[in-house]
Amino acid sequence: MIDLHTHTLFSDGALLPSELVQRAEALGLTAVALTDHGDMSNLDLVVPRLRVAADQLNKHHRIKTIAGVELTHVPPDLIAPLARQAYDLGAQIVVVHGESPVEPVAPGTNRAGIEAGVDILAHPGLLTAQEAALAAQKGVMLEISSRGGHSLGNGQVARLGLAAGALLCINTDAHAPRDLIAWEFAQKVGRCAGLEDEQVEQCRANSRRLLEAVLGRQS
């Protein structure tokens, strides 16, 4: 399991980065991304701190840790400049909090995140066919989420994403220890979203390729 969307107590998570990574490794994960919530008010605090944590933890763990941010409830017009700022601050991965059916995310957020070329559009349940096609064109990964509430949109994301040829991944959006999952449970999440077994495996391969690309652009 490669989980590219988690939260620590640097935003609304329950765990220090060190405990989250330790617990993820104990579950058998091979890589994890620390992607705390960010906007214009805290990028310069969150991203460098998570990068320090990831760099240090990688010296002591088998699991690979990367640092990033989830741009959350940001006005759509600000997503692209904030994404650039996050990368400049050392973010290895940028996630955008997509238009989930259970939160009042600003309309246009899905499209803005895709147009900005971020790495992952998280739980974008109100996705349209046009946005899925644009994500395929831009190489922006669409997330199938194991998190309660956000997962209500998984079927829509899977259906439109597959039809458009977009890249899909399975992440937890973990905020607490109970949210972390092993790959066996991730497979169930994918199947319940309507994916066939080989499509679920493709999600894992997509996450692996993104991880390799992220590490490559940092070398």
| pLDDT tens-place string over residues 95-144 | 999 999 999 999 999 999 999 999 999 999 999 999 999 999 999 999 99
Which pTM value belongs to this model?
0.97
For residues 185 and 31, give the distance between their C-alpha atoms in angstroms, rounded to a whole number: 16
Provide φ and ψ at 24, rounded to 5°.
-65, -40
Indicate if the pLDDT at residue 213 is higher than 90: yes
Indicate if the pLDDT at residue 217 is higher than 90: no
| pLDDT tens-place string over residues 18-66 | 999 999 999 999 999 999 999 999 999 999 999 999 999 999 999 999 9
> What angle do the packed helices 183-192 and 197-218 form, to 10 degrees?
120
For residues 69 and 37, give the distance between their C-alpha atoms in angstroms, rounded to a whole number: 6
Query: Average pLDDT in the 8-19 region?
Result: 97
Give domain 2-218's CATH architecture.
Alpha-Beta Barrel (3.20)
Q: What are the extents of the domains in the chain? A: 2-218
For residues 28 and 24, give the distance between their C-alpha atoms in angstroms, rounded to a whole number: 7
pLDDT band for position 219 (cuts 50, 70, 90): low
Which runs of consecutive H residues, i.e. helices, occur in the chain?
17-26, 43-57, 76-88, 109-115, 129-138, 154-164, 183-192, 197-218
Q: Which residues contact 195 (CB under 8 A, 6 or more apart)?
A: 144, 158, 162, 168, 203
Amino acid at residue number 139: G
pLDDT band for position 218 (cuts 50, 70, 90): low
pLDDT band for position 7 (cuts 50, 70, 90): very high
